Structure 1
Amino acid sequence: MNAHEWRNLLEGAWPWLRILVILVLAWASLWMIRRVLRVLKTHIISRTDEYRDSRRIETLMNVFRYTANIVIVGVAIMAILGTVGISIAPILATAGVAGIAIGFGAQSLVKDFFTGLFLLIEGQVSEGDNIEAAGKSGYVERVTLRHIRIRDYDGSVHFIPNSMITVVTNRSRDYAFAVVDLNVPRKEDLNRVFRQMEEVVRDMRADPAIGSLILDDVDMGGVEKVEDAAVGLRCRIKVLPAKQWRVRREFLRRMKSAMDTVEEVQSAA
């Protein structure tokens, strides 16, 4: 083959070589970003002691990786179109006009993205938290820039758009209180009942099965209300986050058994 034929061959193969180079560069960029995010995540998590922070970092890294994938793939597609001779200027112009038209009808979608981004950056909610938002409560299974997916106590899954979230009640931060309201007959000796409640909590803290969930002694609120036939007592127990319901149920169960024992002794006497 002479030089002219070689030149024609190279000119014919050059667009395909450029496409190959673009694909290789896109793949290398995706691999590098995943690698950098993985190293960065490991480094940040190793410098924090809280499991909650590690969950938030994991969620943010997933969002960054997803966004980077979209940007790199989009740039690669536009570069390939330009290589094969398809002008991207009309496409960009059409996309701009369409974007304006869509923007008027997709304001809630944009609000979803910005709200979701601030929810993640500020650490208001992370995967694994127990929250209440937009009138729904449950365990957070997934956090994205578009929505939050939570599963409630009976197993129902709720998808909450981020734009609907104005207040987040997070029950998985640092500690919680198991608040207990107890009604006793008016004739009961309240001091004895208070001592009984304190003894029940001490026994629970000594129990290896549940003691690790309780962080402090019972905080006795005292008399909450007085009715014709009963007196309402209130106390609270400082516990690990999201463990208040389990501790409260166990306290009520043991308190009921203790009160039954006292009644049996008084009846026998």
Structure 2
Amino acid sequence: MLHPVSSVSALLSANSCDKDEASLCGFVHKVTNNANWAQAADVILGPIIQVVVILAIAILVRRWLHKLINRTVNRITNGDPATTAELINRRILRARTLASVLQSVTSALVFGLAALMILQIFWSVAPLLASVSVVGVALGFGAQSLVKDVLAGLFMIVEDQYGVGDVIDVGNDVDGTVEAVGLRVTRIRAVDGTMWIVRNGEILRVGNKSQGWARAVVDVGVAHGVDVSHVEELLRQEGEKMRQDPAFTNALLGDPEVWGVETMTKDGLTIRVVVKTRPLKQWPVARELRRRITTRLEAEGIDQG
């Protein structure tokens, strides 16, 4: 009967490698001149070295892909120098959002592939992949909403439907400032501070209040019997004064327009004033214009109903 140590030694000797073999086993055998040490190094250190090499390559590939994505983003953001500041800022936000999503996708793909390669070192992944494919088909029916959300998110980003910093209305009483755009969900901060997390696949329509230009709408109520023409002239004068105000010159894209009587009720008349503004400037412009008009009408002694 063989001693256990002798059996192990015999096994290692039987599987020992040649000194001239281009492998870790051959290198250790050549350095130590011991076949058992060479075989042990190959069995123990070999997988560890392979894992380290795979992770190192994955990290390098991921870093290279991220640099490539950032370089592409920089080309997008450094476009036509004649473009307005608003469009440049929007382009930068859109590019950064797209870069963040692409970097997340590439990281998941690279490290997912690296994980499969590492598993292959210790076990055969073929049965695992077969099982995953069967389970994947079963889960696919339940993951249809997830796929729908991801596809919708991709189209929203590529088509520039909205981006971080935009003020949007997606229906169902959900509106506010976009704080994050992901592949699956969009985070919207409402005026009252509520954080709405909306699945991209559930967004059927988007009202974007931040693209191109906006319009401040101010409805002024006056009592019956007032001289409408005189009131309209007063509103026009206040609009012109605001247009000349340095604090609001850059926010306005044109002179305020008096559209005239909008509605008539038993309580009085409503006269509408509008002005074209830069994106996201419609609200402060409307508040200031409303304040100026109220002060002027009070000074003129006009009943505002």
Q: Which residue of 2 aligns with 1:36?
A: 68
Within 5 Å, give how 1:76-155 maps onto structure 2.
76-84=114-122, 86-135=123-172, 136-155=174-193
Shift of 1:184: 1.2
Give the CA RMSD over aligned residues: 1.7
Shift of 1:65: 0.2
1:202 pairs with 2:240: yes
Larger mean Cα displacement after TM superposition, 117-126 or 178-187: 178-187
Q: Which residue of 2 aligns with 1:11?
A: 42
Q: Which runs of 5+ in 1 are unaligned?
A: 265-269
1:45 pairs with 2:83: no
1:63 pairs with 2:101: yes
Is the 8 Å Cα contact of residues 149 and 157 (structure 1) preserved in structure 2? Answer: yes
Secondary structure of the corresponding residue to residue 209 of structure 1 = helix
Q: Which residue of 2 aligns with 1:267?
A: none
Shift of 1:6: 6.9
TM-score by length of 1: 0.92
Is the 8 Å Cα contact of residues 147 and 160 (structure 1) preserved in structure 2? Answer: yes
Q: Distance in 1 between matches of 2:55 and 2:74?
A: 29
Q: 1:22-79 CA deviation, whole Å, 9 max, x = no partner?
A: 1110111111112222222122211154211211110000000000000011100110
What is the one-letter code of the residue matched to 2:39? N
Q: Which residue of 2 aligns with 1:167?
A: 205
Is the 8 Å Cα contact of residues 205 and 212 (structure 1) preserved in structure 2? Answer: no
Is the 8 Å Cα contact of residues 133 and 168 (structure 1) preserved in structure 2? Answer: yes
1:224 pairs with 2:224: no
Q: Which runs of 5+ in 2 are unaligned?
A: 1-31
Q: Distance in 1 between matches of 2:265 and 2:41?
A: 96
TM-score by length of 2: 0.82
Q: Distance in 2 between matches of 1:228 and 1:69?
A: 65
What is the one-letter code of the residue matched to 2:33? N
Larger mean Cα displacement after TM superposition, 50-59 or 12-21: 12-21
Equivalent of 2:224 in 174, 186, 198:
186
Q: Which residue of 1 aligns with 2:7?
A: none
Q: Distance in 1 between matches of 2:258 and 2:300?
A: 21
Shift of 1:14: 2.7
Q: Distance in 2 between matches of 1:141 and 1:227?
A: 41
Structure showing greater Rg: 2
Secondary structure of the corresponding residue to residue 116 of structure 1 = helix
Q: Distance in 2 between matches of 1:207 and 1:29?
A: 55
Q: Which residue of 1 aligns with 2:291?
A: 253
Shift of 1:165: 0.1
Q: 1:154-186 CA deviation, whole Å, 9 max, x = no partner?
A: 111100011110000000011111112222122
Secondary structure of the corresponding residue to residue 212 of structure 2 = coil
Percent identity for Structure 1 against Structure 2: 33
Is the 8 Å Cα contact of residues 76 and 91 (structure 2) preserved in structure 1? Answer: no
Shift of 1:190: 1.3
Please identify runs of 4+ aligned residues in structure 1 that moved more than 6 A: none
Q: Distance in 1 between matches of 2:224 and 2:171?
A: 41
Q: 1:186-228 CA deviation, whole Å, 9 max, x = no partner?
A: 2211111111111111111222222321110112222222233
